[in-house]
Protein backbone atom coordinates (compact mmCIF):
# COMPACT_ATOMS: atom_id res chain seq x y z
CA UNK A 1 0.00 0.00 0.00
CA UNK A 2 1.46 3.39 -0.95
CA UNK A 3 -0.43 5.14 1.89
CA UNK A 4 -0.60 3.87 5.51
CA UNK A 5 -3.93 2.39 6.56
CA UNK A 6 -4.31 4.98 9.35
CA UNK A 7 -4.13 7.80 6.79
CA UNK A 8 -6.65 6.09 4.49
CA UNK A 9 -8.96 5.55 7.45
CA UNK A 10 -8.69 9.20 8.56
CA UNK A 11 -9.42 10.51 5.06
CA UNK A 12 -12.24 8.02 4.37
CA UNK A 13 -14.05 8.70 7.64
CA UNK A 14 -13.61 12.46 7.13
CA UNK A 15 -15.19 12.29 3.65
CA UNK A 16 -18.04 10.09 4.91
CA UNK A 17 -18.70 12.56 7.77
CA UNK A 18 -18.94 15.42 5.25
CA UNK A 19 -21.35 13.42 3.14
CA UNK A 20 -23.52 12.46 6.12
CA UNK A 21 -23.60 16.13 7.12
CA UNK A 22 -24.84 16.94 3.60
CA UNK A 23 -21.87 19.23 2.81
CA UNK A 24 -21.39 19.71 -0.93
CA UNK A 25 -18.18 21.74 -0.73
CA UNK A 26 -15.52 20.58 1.69
CA UNK A 27 -11.71 20.66 1.62
CA UNK A 28 -9.58 17.54 1.40
CA UNK A 29 -6.06 19.02 1.39
CA UNK A 30 -5.06 22.50 2.51
CA UNK A 31 -2.35 23.93 0.28
CA UNK A 32 -0.40 25.98 2.81
CA UNK A 33 2.19 28.24 1.21
CA UNK A 34 4.19 29.76 4.07
CA UNK A 35 6.47 31.70 1.69
CA UNK A 36 7.18 32.21 -2.02
CA UNK A 37 10.99 32.33 -1.84
CA UNK A 38 12.86 29.50 -3.48
CA UNK A 39 16.45 28.40 -4.03
CA UNK A 40 15.58 27.27 -7.57
CA UNK A 41 14.04 29.14 -10.50
CA UNK A 42 12.33 26.40 -12.52
CA UNK A 43 11.22 27.34 -16.01
CA UNK A 44 7.65 26.03 -15.52
CA UNK A 45 7.04 27.63 -12.11
CA UNK A 46 4.53 30.45 -11.66
CA UNK A 47 5.06 30.97 -7.94
CA UNK A 48 8.28 32.89 -7.56
CA UNK A 49 7.82 35.85 -9.92
CA UNK A 50 6.83 38.27 -7.15
CA UNK A 51 8.57 41.51 -6.24
CA UNK A 52 11.26 41.30 -3.52
CA UNK A 53 9.07 42.67 -0.72
CA UNK A 54 6.56 39.81 -1.28
CA UNK A 55 9.28 37.17 -1.60
CA UNK A 56 10.65 38.29 1.78
CA UNK A 57 7.34 37.62 3.55
CA UNK A 58 6.71 34.54 5.69
CA UNK A 59 3.51 33.28 7.27
CA UNK A 60 4.01 33.00 11.03
CA UNK A 61 3.42 29.62 12.69
CA UNK A 62 0.31 31.11 14.35
CA UNK A 63 -1.08 32.19 10.95
CA UNK A 64 -0.45 28.67 9.63
CA UNK A 65 -2.18 27.04 12.61
CA UNK A 66 -5.16 29.40 12.35
CA UNK A 67 -5.60 28.55 8.66
CA UNK A 68 -5.28 24.80 9.31
CA UNK A 69 -7.80 24.91 12.17
CA UNK A 70 -10.22 27.05 10.20
CA UNK A 71 -10.05 24.87 7.11
CA UNK A 72 -10.37 21.52 8.90
CA UNK A 73 -8.93 19.43 6.03
CA UNK A 74 -7.30 16.17 7.23
CA UNK A 75 -4.23 16.67 5.02
CA UNK A 76 -1.94 19.68 4.64
CA UNK A 77 0.41 20.09 1.72
CA UNK A 78 3.19 22.63 2.29
CA UNK A 79 4.50 23.85 -1.06
CA UNK A 80 5.96 27.29 -1.69
CA UNK A 81 8.51 28.53 -2.65
CA UNK A 82 10.81 26.19 -0.84
CA UNK A 83 9.37 25.53 2.63
CA UNK A 84 12.77 24.53 4.06
CA UNK A 85 13.83 28.19 3.58
CA UNK A 86 11.18 29.27 6.10
CA UNK A 87 12.99 30.15 9.37
CA UNK A 88 10.28 28.48 11.52
CA UNK A 89 9.43 25.48 9.37
CA UNK A 90 10.33 23.04 12.19
CA UNK A 91 7.86 24.79 14.52
CA UNK A 92 5.14 24.84 11.85
CA UNK A 93 5.48 21.12 11.15
CA UNK A 94 5.58 20.27 14.87
CA UNK A 95 2.35 22.23 15.41
CA UNK A 96 0.62 20.42 12.55
CA UNK A 97 1.78 17.00 13.72
CA UNK A 98 0.37 17.87 17.17
CA UNK A 99 -2.95 18.54 15.39
CA UNK A 100 -2.72 15.08 13.78
CA UNK A 101 -2.73 16.45 10.26
CA UNK A 102 -1.14 14.36 7.53
CA UNK A 103 1.50 16.70 6.15
CA UNK A 104 3.21 16.59 2.76
CA UNK A 105 6.19 18.92 2.95
CA UNK A 106 7.00 19.59 -0.72
CA UNK A 107 10.68 20.27 -1.17
CA UNK A 108 13.32 20.31 -3.87
CA UNK A 109 15.50 18.71 -1.16
CA UNK A 110 18.50 20.97 -1.77
CA UNK A 111 18.40 21.88 1.94
CA UNK A 112 16.94 18.66 3.27
CA UNK A 113 20.13 17.10 4.67
CA UNK A 114 21.09 20.38 6.30
CA UNK A 115 17.67 20.90 7.92
CA UNK A 116 16.58 17.34 8.63
CA UNK A 117 17.47 17.68 12.32
CA UNK A 118 14.52 20.09 12.65
CA UNK A 119 12.07 17.20 12.17
CA UNK A 120 11.15 13.95 13.88
CA UNK A 121 9.93 10.91 11.94
CA UNK A 122 6.17 10.59 12.28
CA UNK A 123 3.36 8.85 10.44
CA UNK A 124 1.93 12.36 10.01
CA UNK A 125 4.96 13.78 8.17
CA UNK A 126 6.01 12.96 4.61
CA UNK A 127 8.76 14.67 2.66
CA UNK A 128 7.37 15.01 -0.85
CA UNK A 129 10.52 15.47 -2.91
CA UNK A 130 10.31 17.31 -6.19
CA UNK A 131 11.90 15.15 -8.88
CA UNK A 132 10.81 15.73 -12.46
CA UNK A 133 12.35 12.61 -13.98
CA UNK A 134 15.70 10.95 -14.44
CA UNK A 135 18.92 12.89 -13.82
CA UNK A 136 19.08 14.77 -17.13
CA UNK A 137 15.35 15.49 -17.32
CA UNK A 138 15.15 16.69 -13.72
CA UNK A 139 18.17 18.96 -14.00
CA UNK A 140 16.72 20.48 -17.17
CA UNK A 141 13.31 21.00 -15.57
CA UNK A 142 14.70 22.73 -12.48
CA UNK A 143 17.42 24.57 -14.43
CA UNK A 144 20.11 23.29 -12.06
CA UNK A 145 22.87 20.85 -12.91
CA UNK A 146 23.43 18.41 -10.05
CA UNK A 147 19.94 18.98 -8.61
CA UNK A 148 18.92 15.35 -9.13
CA UNK A 149 21.95 13.94 -7.32
CA UNK A 150 21.46 16.24 -4.34
CA UNK A 151 17.76 15.36 -4.11
CA UNK A 152 18.36 11.59 -4.39
CA UNK A 153 21.09 11.79 -1.74
CA UNK A 154 18.69 13.63 0.57
CA UNK A 155 15.96 11.05 -0.08
CA UNK A 156 18.37 8.29 0.98
CA UNK A 157 19.23 10.18 4.16
CA UNK A 158 15.57 10.82 5.03
CA UNK A 159 14.69 7.15 4.44
CA UNK A 160 17.66 6.04 6.54
CA UNK A 161 16.39 8.19 9.42
CA UNK A 162 12.92 6.64 9.22
CA UNK A 163 10.97 9.41 7.51
CA UNK A 164 8.13 8.85 5.07
CA UNK A 165 9.25 10.01 1.62
CA UNK A 166 7.35 10.34 -1.65
CA UNK A 167 8.29 11.98 -4.91
CA UNK A 168 6.28 14.63 -6.74
CA UNK A 169 6.77 14.97 -10.47
CA UNK A 170 5.42 17.58 -12.86
CA UNK A 171 5.46 16.63 -16.53
CA UNK A 172 5.56 19.07 -19.43
CA UNK A 173 5.40 18.76 -23.20
CA UNK A 174 8.48 16.94 -24.44
CA UNK A 175 8.58 14.50 -21.52
CA UNK A 176 9.80 11.14 -22.74
CA UNK A 177 7.36 8.42 -21.56
CA UNK A 178 10.03 5.71 -21.67
CA UNK A 179 12.33 7.79 -19.51
CA UNK A 180 9.48 8.57 -17.09
CA UNK A 181 8.83 4.84 -16.73
CA UNK A 182 12.54 4.22 -16.09
CA UNK A 183 12.38 7.00 -13.48
CA UNK A 184 9.53 5.14 -11.73
CA UNK A 185 11.78 2.06 -11.55
CA UNK A 186 14.60 4.15 -10.07
CA UNK A 187 12.35 5.69 -7.41
CA UNK A 188 10.92 2.34 -6.37
CA UNK A 189 14.43 0.92 -6.11
CA UNK A 190 15.41 3.93 -4.01
CA UNK A 191 12.64 2.91 -1.58
CA UNK A 192 10.20 5.84 -1.63
CA UNK A 193 6.73 5.13 -0.31
CA UNK A 194 4.92 6.30 -3.44
CA UNK A 195 5.01 8.71 -6.36
CA UNK A 196 2.83 11.72 -7.16
CA UNK A 197 2.36 13.00 -10.70
CA UNK A 198 0.73 15.94 -12.37
CA UNK A 199 0.84 17.67 -15.74
CA UNK A 200 2.19 21.22 -15.48
CA UNK A 201 -0.23 24.14 -15.43
CA UNK A 202 0.31 26.93 -17.96
CA UNK A 203 0.99 29.75 -15.51
CA UNK A 204 1.02 33.00 -17.42
CA UNK A 205 3.88 34.12 -15.14
CA UNK A 206 6.07 31.09 -15.87
CA UNK A 207 9.22 31.91 -17.86
CA UNK A 208 8.91 28.94 -20.23
CA UNK A 209 5.52 29.18 -21.98
CA UNK A 210 6.38 26.76 -24.79
CA UNK A 211 6.15 23.43 -23.05
CA UNK A 212 2.73 23.32 -21.43
CA UNK A 213 0.44 20.51 -22.49
CA UNK A 214 -3.08 20.71 -23.94
CA UNK A 215 -5.66 18.23 -22.63
CA UNK A 216 -5.52 15.79 -25.58
CA UNK A 217 -1.73 15.68 -25.45
CA UNK A 218 -1.81 15.27 -21.68
CA UNK A 219 -4.09 12.23 -21.98
CA UNK A 220 -1.98 10.72 -24.75
CA UNK A 221 1.24 11.16 -22.78
CA UNK A 222 -0.18 9.72 -19.55
CA UNK A 223 -1.74 6.82 -21.46
CA UNK A 224 1.72 5.94 -22.74
CA UNK A 225 3.30 6.35 -19.31
CA UNK A 226 0.71 4.74 -17.05
CA UNK A 227 -0.63 1.86 -19.15
CA UNK A 228 1.00 -1.59 -18.87
CA UNK A 229 2.05 -0.71 -15.34
CA UNK A 230 4.65 -2.65 -13.42
CA UNK A 231 3.31 -4.14 -10.23
CA UNK A 232 6.21 -2.62 -8.27
CA UNK A 233 5.12 0.95 -9.02
CA UNK A 234 3.25 2.66 -6.20
CA UNK A 235 1.46 5.96 -6.62
CA UNK A 236 0.50 8.22 -3.78
CA UNK A 237 -2.57 9.42 -5.67
CA UNK A 238 -6.14 8.32 -6.21
CA UNK A 239 -6.17 5.61 -8.91
CA UNK A 240 -9.18 7.36 -10.41
CA UNK A 241 -7.14 10.55 -10.81
CA UNK A 242 -4.54 8.53 -12.72
CA UNK A 243 -7.35 7.14 -14.91
CA UNK A 244 -8.49 10.74 -15.46
CA UNK A 245 -5.00 11.66 -16.67
CA UNK A 246 -5.03 8.63 -19.01
CA UNK A 247 -8.34 9.73 -20.53
CA UNK A 248 -10.37 6.86 -19.02
CA UNK A 249 -12.48 9.14 -16.80
CA UNK A 250 -13.79 12.67 -17.02
CA UNK A 251 -14.41 14.82 -13.95
CA UNK A 252 -15.33 18.43 -13.34
CA UNK A 253 -12.83 20.48 -11.38
CA UNK A 254 -13.25 20.68 -7.59
CA UNK A 255 -11.31 23.85 -6.79
CA UNK A 256 -12.50 24.04 -3.18
CA UNK A 257 -11.15 20.49 -2.57
CA UNK A 258 -7.58 21.79 -2.23
CA UNK A 259 -7.86 25.43 -1.10
CA UNK A 260 -4.77 27.61 -0.87
CA UNK A 261 -3.69 29.86 1.98
CA UNK A 262 -0.62 32.07 1.61
CA UNK A 263 0.82 35.45 2.56
CA UNK A 264 -2.06 37.19 0.72
CA UNK A 265 -4.85 35.22 2.46
CA UNK A 266 -7.24 32.58 1.04
CA UNK A 267 -6.63 32.50 -2.70
CA UNK A 268 -9.61 32.52 -5.09
CA UNK A 269 -10.45 30.10 -6.62
CA UNK A 270 -7.58 27.59 -6.49
CA UNK A 271 -3.86 26.94 -6.12
CA UNK A 272 -3.20 28.08 -9.71
CA UNK A 273 -5.34 31.14 -10.34
CA UNK A 274 -5.38 34.42 -8.44
CA UNK A 275 -8.79 36.05 -8.79
CA UNK A 276 -8.60 37.83 -5.46
CA UNK A 277 -8.34 36.75 -1.85
CA UNK A 278 -10.66 36.12 1.07
CA UNK A 279 -9.91 36.80 4.72
CA UNK A 280 -11.37 33.54 5.98
CA UNK A 281 -12.03 30.08 4.62
CA UNK A 282 -15.78 30.51 5.07
CA UNK A 283 -15.58 33.79 3.13
CA UNK A 284 -13.66 31.97 0.37
CA UNK A 285 -16.43 29.36 0.09
CA UNK A 286 -19.23 31.91 0.24
CA UNK A 287 -17.89 34.63 -2.05
CA UNK A 288 -16.08 32.76 -4.85
CA UNK A 289 -18.14 32.42 -8.03
CA UNK A 290 -17.31 28.74 -8.46
CA UNK A 291 -19.36 28.39 -11.67
CA UNK A 292 -16.79 30.61 -13.42
CA UNK A 293 -14.10 27.91 -13.05
CA UNK A 294 -13.33 24.43 -14.34
CA UNK A 295 -12.97 23.23 -17.91
CA UNK A 296 -16.73 23.16 -18.53
CA UNK A 297 -17.08 26.82 -17.50
CA UNK A 298 -15.49 28.07 -20.72
CA UNK A 299 -12.96 30.06 -18.69
CA UNK A 300 -9.82 30.14 -20.90
CA UNK A 301 -7.60 29.95 -17.80
CA UNK A 302 -9.11 26.52 -17.07
CA UNK A 303 -9.25 25.22 -20.67
CA UNK A 304 -6.16 22.99 -20.53
CA UNK A 305 -5.98 22.32 -16.84
CA UNK A 306 -5.83 18.71 -15.57
CA UNK A 307 -3.68 19.33 -12.54
CA UNK A 308 -3.71 17.39 -9.32
CA UNK A 309 -4.85 20.35 -7.18
CA UNK A 310 -8.04 20.75 -9.23
CA UNK A 311 -8.94 17.20 -10.11
CA UNK A 312 -7.65 14.77 -7.50
CA UNK A 313 -10.34 15.88 -5.06
CA UNK A 314 -12.87 15.19 -7.85
CA UNK A 315 -11.52 11.65 -8.16
CA UNK A 316 -11.69 11.13 -4.38
CA UNK A 317 -15.30 12.34 -4.36
CA UNK A 318 -16.05 9.86 -7.18
CA UNK A 319 -14.73 7.06 -4.96
CA UNK A 320 -17.27 7.86 -2.27
CA UNK A 321 -20.19 8.89 -4.49
CA UNK A 322 -21.22 5.38 -5.53
CA UNK A 323 -20.47 1.72 -5.02
CA UNK A 324 -19.14 1.69 -8.61
CA UNK A 325 -16.66 4.46 -7.76
CA UNK A 326 -15.52 2.59 -4.65
CA UNK A 327 -15.06 -0.68 -6.53
CA UNK A 328 -13.18 1.09 -9.35
CA UNK A 329 -10.83 2.57 -6.74
CA UNK A 330 -10.17 -0.83 -5.16
CA UNK A 331 -9.59 -2.39 -8.58
CA UNK A 332 -7.27 0.44 -9.64
CA UNK A 333 -5.30 0.21 -6.39
CA UNK A 334 -4.92 -3.53 -6.09
CA UNK A 335 -5.46 -5.25 -9.41
CA UNK A 336 -5.32 -3.18 -12.60
CA UNK A 337 -2.14 -3.15 -14.66
CA UNK A 338 -3.99 -1.26 -17.47
CA UNK A 339 -2.92 -3.51 -20.35
CA UNK A 340 -3.04 -1.49 -23.58
CA UNK A 341 -1.40 -2.46 -26.90
CA UNK A 342 -1.85 1.01 -28.40
CA UNK A 343 -0.02 2.53 -25.43
CA UNK A 344 2.94 0.24 -26.14
CA UNK A 345 3.01 1.68 -29.65
CA UNK A 346 2.87 5.24 -28.26
CA UNK A 347 6.01 4.46 -26.27
CA UNK A 348 7.91 3.94 -29.51
CA UNK A 349 6.92 7.30 -31.02
CA UNK A 350 9.73 9.84 -31.34
CA UNK A 351 9.67 12.53 -28.68
CA UNK A 352 10.41 16.18 -29.41
CA UNK A 353 13.65 17.39 -27.85
CA UNK A 354 13.23 19.11 -24.51
CA UNK A 355 14.26 22.70 -23.87
CA UNK A 356 17.94 23.43 -23.28
CA UNK A 357 19.21 23.96 -19.75
CA UNK A 358 18.90 27.60 -18.79
CA UNK A 359 19.03 29.32 -15.44
CA UNK A 360 16.03 31.63 -15.49
CA UNK A 361 16.77 35.04 -14.04
CA UNK A 362 13.56 36.83 -14.91
CA UNK A 363 10.28 36.04 -16.65
CA UNK A 364 10.37 36.27 -20.43
CA UNK A 365 7.17 36.97 -22.31
CA UNK A 366 7.62 34.48 -25.13
CA UNK A 367 4.61 33.92 -27.29
CA UNK A 368 2.40 31.08 -26.15
CA UNK A 369 2.69 28.06 -28.37
CA UNK A 370 -0.79 26.68 -28.93
CA UNK A 371 -1.22 23.38 -27.12
CA UNK A 372 -4.97 23.42 -26.49
CA UNK A 373 -6.82 20.38 -27.77
S1 LIG B 1 -9.58 23.99 -13.83
FE2 LIG B 1 -7.51 24.26 -12.95
S3 LIG B 1 -7.12 26.48 -13.08
FE4 LIG B 1 -9.37 26.17 -13.29
S5 LIG B 1 -10.21 26.32 -11.21
FE6 LIG B 1 -9.78 24.16 -11.60
S7 LIG B 1 -7.71 23.85 -10.75
FE8 LIG B 1 -7.98 26.06 -11.02
Q: Mean pLDDT for the chain? A: 89
Spatial separation of the C-alpha atoms in residues 360 and 83, rounded to whole Å: 20
User: Please, are residues 148 and 108 in contact by the beta-carbon 8 Å criterion?
Assistant: no
For residue 269, which atom of ligand 1 is closest to its CA? 5
The whole-number pLDDT of residue 204 equals: 61
Closest residue by Cα to residue 258 from 77, 134, 80, 117:
77
**CA separation (Å) from 66 to 59, 120, 321?**
11, 23, 31
Distance 309 CA to ligand 1 centre (A): 8
Distance 299 CA to ligand 1 centre (A): 9
For residue 254, which atom of ligand 1 is closest to its CA? 6
Distance 269 CA to ligand 1 centre (A): 8
Spatial separation of the C-alpha atoms in residues 29 and 35, rounded to whole Å: 18
More confident residue, 186 or 212: 186
Per-residue pLDDT of 20-75, as tens digits, reads 999 989 999 999 999 999 888 777 777 767 888 999 999 999 999 999 999 999 99
Which residue has the CA at smallest separation from atom 7 of ligand 1? 310
Residue 280's pLDDT band (cuts 50, 70, 90): very high
Cβ-based neighbours of 288, under 8 Å, separated by 6 or more: 255, 256, 268, 269, 275, 278
The whole-number pLDDT of residue 205 equals: 57
For residue 306, which atom of ligand 1 is closest to its CA? 2
**Is the pTM here over 0.85, yes or no?**
yes
Cβ-based neighbours of 307, under 8 Å, separated by 6 or more: 198, 199, 200, 201, 271, 272
The whole-number pLDDT of residue 336 equals: 84
Burial 49-61 (b: 16+ CB within 10 A, else e): bbeeeeeeebbeb
Spatial separation of the C-alpha atoms in residues 169 and 171, rounded to whole Å: 6
- The residues lining ligand 1, judged by C-beta closer than 6 Å to any ligand atom, are 253, 255, 269-270, 272-273, 293-295, 301-302, 305, 307, 309-310
Residue 370 has pLDDT above 70, yes or no: no
Residue 215's pLDDT band (cuts 50, 70, 90): confident
Residue 362 has pLDDT above 70, yes or no: no
Amino acid sequence: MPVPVSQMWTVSTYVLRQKLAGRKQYPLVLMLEPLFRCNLACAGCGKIQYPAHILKKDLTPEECFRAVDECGAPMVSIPGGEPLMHPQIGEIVEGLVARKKYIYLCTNALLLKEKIHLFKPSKYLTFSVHLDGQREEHDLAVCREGGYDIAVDAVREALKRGFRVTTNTTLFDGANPKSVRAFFDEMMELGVEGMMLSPGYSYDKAPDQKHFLGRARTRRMFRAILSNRKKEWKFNLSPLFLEFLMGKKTYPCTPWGMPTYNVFGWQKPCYLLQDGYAESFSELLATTEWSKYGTESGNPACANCMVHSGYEASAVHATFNSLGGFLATVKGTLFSRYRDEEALRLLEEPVAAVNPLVQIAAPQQDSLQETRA
